[in-house]
Amino acid sequence: MKKCRPIMVQATCSHAGKSVLTAALLRILKHRGFKAAPFKAQNMALNSAVTRSGHEIGRAQAFQAEAAGIEATSDMNPILLKPTGDAVSQVIIHGKVFGSMSAREYHSFKKEAKRFVAESYERLSAEYEVIVIEGAGSPAEVNLRDNDIANMGIAEMCDAPVILAGDIDRGGVFAHLVGTLDLLTPAERERVKGFVINKFRGDIGLLKPGLEFLEARTKKPVLGVVPYFKEMLLPDEDGVALDSNEPAGASAVTIAVIRLPRISNFTDFDPFRAEVVNLKYIESPEGIEGADAVIIPGTKNTVSDLAWLKDKGFFEKLRSFRERGGVIFGVCGGFQMLGSEVRDPFGMESTKATEAGLAFLDCTTTILEHKKTFNVRASLEFDGNSFDASGYEIHMGETKGSLKPFSRISERNGEGVEVLDGGADGTVFGTYIHGIFDNDAFRRAFLDMLPGKKGLPARAQTSFAAKRNEALDKWAALVEKSVKIDEIMKIMGLKPECLT
């Protein structure tokens, strides 16, 4: 077995593009004939995915595996932290819930957690030629340096050279890069082999003095400047992405997604970005005005976010919206809120034992002690048509009631089952299946039944998977054109066609 060669992408801050830069490098390496895999030791994200074997990992790592042309496994993200409150997170190790910890408890736990990280990396490095490692946040968080398992601690463990990325779209990129480097130890600075500036708009010639300053000041090369990519249909982990809504036009269908405080898996709605749809994320009831459909998304804390909906005045507005014929769709936690009550007898999410729901569907949900994670296949009847669908379940709630099911799940983690899912009542629908809108035929049927569709031309046959794959190829080509890939491969000890 040839020696595995790692490279690590770190950044000066969150949302600087680490995830998509990692995906681009993996796609480029795939095109150049390398067997490469993603790796993110510790990921804090509410966007997650379920592997074929039923293990939960960060959504970004699942997508990066897709970019590399391989199947996602829990070793690609051995530790996933899912915040349940301001200072408490559910800790998922090797794809299964390990427990819940406060920030202080987890900080003390990291020395032990490093063992799980090392086990995953060893398994990956035995199988793949190249591992592209993604950092988390910034490596310059000096208060978190002890027992670091997110950035430089992992680079040292894997003996990985580091590329440091900065987001120029936010401003201050040179200060960010120089300052980050300055806060590293001498050994860590030596490990950084160069910079990539991401999300650049404008005349590259005007940037040249800054690039010359950066190289002269740090004695390290700028490996590339990547232009802002407008066709980004790639999943984003950070809620910052929800702040940028680009209207599709006055004649388009409008979908309002309620931006819950603990919203999770908002990538469920990325497929609408490939359609002629005005997709907007709203935080107040007034945002419902003008919408053809309102979606209540998944959440890491159904009980708390249900109380938030009430406090904000959403209940009254949603009831009025429904009476006018508006379509309401709930996914996972959003589906649970559509019932009459959510019960939390074990105190998994709240000190409150019960919270009244919208009562749009005749069902109640009980939050249990153990999480269910399944990769699923299902069949459903919708608007007079039959569909096959696939997706995944991630939930601790169990919902029961007297209602028409939304779908019938026939397969979980590759095994045949017969499970009724969700509920439907008139223009109100709910399901536990994340990724339901990734299914092209169902998504088109959903959009075509909305009130705002009446009188509009027939909908194009859009394949979201194909469009996302096309966007990924364009993104990888842009990165390959903008970044000195051959130089990065030399840093790793690689040649274009084979390992050295």
Instruction: Count other Cβ atoms within 10 Å, centred on residue 126.
Output: 9
Which position among 4, 158, 332, 363 bears the catalytic label?
332
* Whether residue 434 lies in the annotated active site: yes
Q: What is the 3-state secondary structure (H, E, C) of 318-335?
A: HHHHHHCCCEEEEECHHH
Report the distance separating Cα 226 and Cα 229, nearest Å.
8
Report the distance separating Cα 74 and Cα 53, nearest Å.
9
In this structure, are residues 231 and 474 in contact, taking their beta carbons and an 8 Å threshold? yes
**DSSP line for 322-389:** HHTT-EEEEETHHHHHTSSEEE-TT-SS-S-SEEE---SSSEEEEEEEEEEEEEEEEEEEETTEEEEE
Report the distance separating Cα 426 and Cα 338, nearest Å.
13
**DSSP line for 196-234:** EEEEE-S-HHHHHHHHHHHHHHHS--EEEEEEP-TT--S
Which position among 15, 55, 176, 434 bears the catalytic label?
434
Using the 8-state DSSP alphabet, how is residue 496 labeled?
S
* Whether residue 332 lies in the annotated active site: yes
Picking from 291, 242, 231, 235, the residue whose alpha carbon sits closest to that of residue 268 is 235
Using the 8-state DSSP alphabet, how is residue 474 labeled?
H
Residue owning tokens 């036009």: 249
Phi, psi (5° rounding) for residue 175? Answer: -65, -40
253, with CB counted inside 10 A (0-12, 13-18, 19+), is buried
Known catalytic residues? 332, 434
